[in-house]
Amino acid sequence: MKPWIKVVLALFLGSIFGLVTKQSFPLLDKVGQVFIDLLKMSVGLIVLSSIITGICHISCPNKLKRIGIRSFLFFLLSTMIAIFHAIVISYWIRPGSGLEMIPLNNSLTKSMSMTDHIFALFPSNPFAALAQGNILQVIVFATFFAFALLKAKEKGEPVLKFFESLLDVMIRLTQIVMRFAPIGVFALMASSIGDMGLGLLKKLFLYLCCNYLALAVQLFLVYSFCLYFLAKIPLSQFYKGMKDAIVYAFSTCSSSATLPISMDCVVKNLQVPKEISGFVLSIGSTINMNGAAIGQICCTLFIAQAYGVELDFSSLVLLVVSTFLSAVGAAGIPGASIMMMSIILNALGLPLEGILLVAGVDRLREMFSTVVNVLGDAVAAVYVARKEQEAIEYAKELALS
């Protein structure tokens, strides 16, 4: 039996077990958390080594510049598109209208400002960033370190070989951990479904519908357009090649934990060069959070509607900026998106206790949003690889003419 089939079977059996028992078991919670922790333990070193080796292997400065600019432009545009149609869908369905919630007097708590959030990207200690799982700081350090290695030239080659070996070892370590995926997925699903049950209220059901519809638009319209017209790859080939990553993203709700599997799928099944996949996917797993952005928009507007707050145009602009920055800063782990909601709610003056309204069903939302996060990174990698191939072919034509 193929590994991904085992994971799907474990997903199904865990859900059935949770529905039958209708309770959460502490032991299953711990088993599921151990599985997530085992996946997360290699993420920091994988991101560090893959970005360093990816940048250093792109020896041509112009090529590195092209890949970087194309990646960031793709991330920016896809995230803004996701935010825009999530706002439209949330105002169309209006899932929180009619709840008439009353905020507590002392509902607001202090949170990091947007300016502080931006300046916090730069690490004072890269080892502390690795230990704390601050992937954005790891990316910043890895980028500076890689450019320093390029400047060092021959003297930096032993260090580069070390990181090449480190990347290979960490990927193999992840493959060992993934052998325990069926056990971990069963525990995660049984615990979540058993604790939550199926007694969802009508408003929470509408809230989930908002999320699912916005995610479907991003997946089947935006990504399909990019794949068919920009990357020029058959949709069936793409989704078939990414099936392992889709299953793991759906079951673990962690784009960071899925990163090694995504890299393997993109390189082996979609023939994207390692230097491009390592660079684009490592950065995208942290800053290209289309699914998280959609979830934060839908959640914020649901809470605003529940408390009877109508956002004016300036508030909507602030919502877009806050969502983009918080989605960029969200760690690719389960529950990270809901934790980042305090930044947006504080910026808009909305009560923080509103998060409790959606916390119970956040896992159901996160399963699908993580899939969109992961596939968005893969689409970006395929697109960038296609453009690089076209640039190479054009350069050859010029040389022959």
Region 300-324: mean pLDDT is 85
pLDDT score of 111 = 46
Residue 357: which of 189, 165, 236, 205 has the closest Cα? 205
DSSP assignment of 252-267: H--HHHHHHHHHHHHH
Distances (CA, A) of 258 to 149, 254, 286, 375, 378: 28, 6, 12, 11, 12
Q: Is the dihedral of CA 130, 131, 133, 136 positive or negative?
A: negative
pLDDT score at 200: 42
Per-residue pLDDT averaged across 196-224, rounded? Answer: 83
Alpha helices in 94-156 (DSSP H): 114-119, 126-132, 135-152
What is the CATH classification number for the domain harbouring 205? 1.10.3860.10
Q: What are phi and psi of 46, to 5 degrees?
A: -65, -45
* CB count in 10 Å sphere of residue 183: 16
Domain count within the chain:
1
CA distance 291 to 286: 12
Instruction: Please report the pLDDT score of residue 114 as a whole number.
Output: 53
Amino acid letter, 300: T
The whole-angstrom separation of Cα 304 and Cα 111 is 19
Distance CA 300, CA 319 (A): 8
CA atoms within 13 A on the CB side of 212: 13
What's the pLDDT score for residue 194? Answer: 66
Name the token pair of 17. Answer: 């077990």
* pLDDT at 220 exceeding the cut of 90: yes
Spatial contact of 254 and 366, defined as CB atoms under 8 Å apart? no
Q: What is the predicted pLDDT for the residue at 108?
A: 42
What does the pLDDT average to over 222-226? 94
Residue of 255, 243, 241, 343 whose CA lies nearest to 291: 255
Cβ atoms within 10 Å of 394's Cβ, excluding its own: 10
Count CA atoms within 13 Å of residue 160 on its CB side: 20
- Per-residue pLDDT band for 16 (boundaries 50, 70, 90) equals confident
Select the more confidently predicted residue: 329 or 154.
154
**Which structural domain, as residue segments, surrounds residue 336?**
3-400
Is pLDDT of 368 > 70? yes
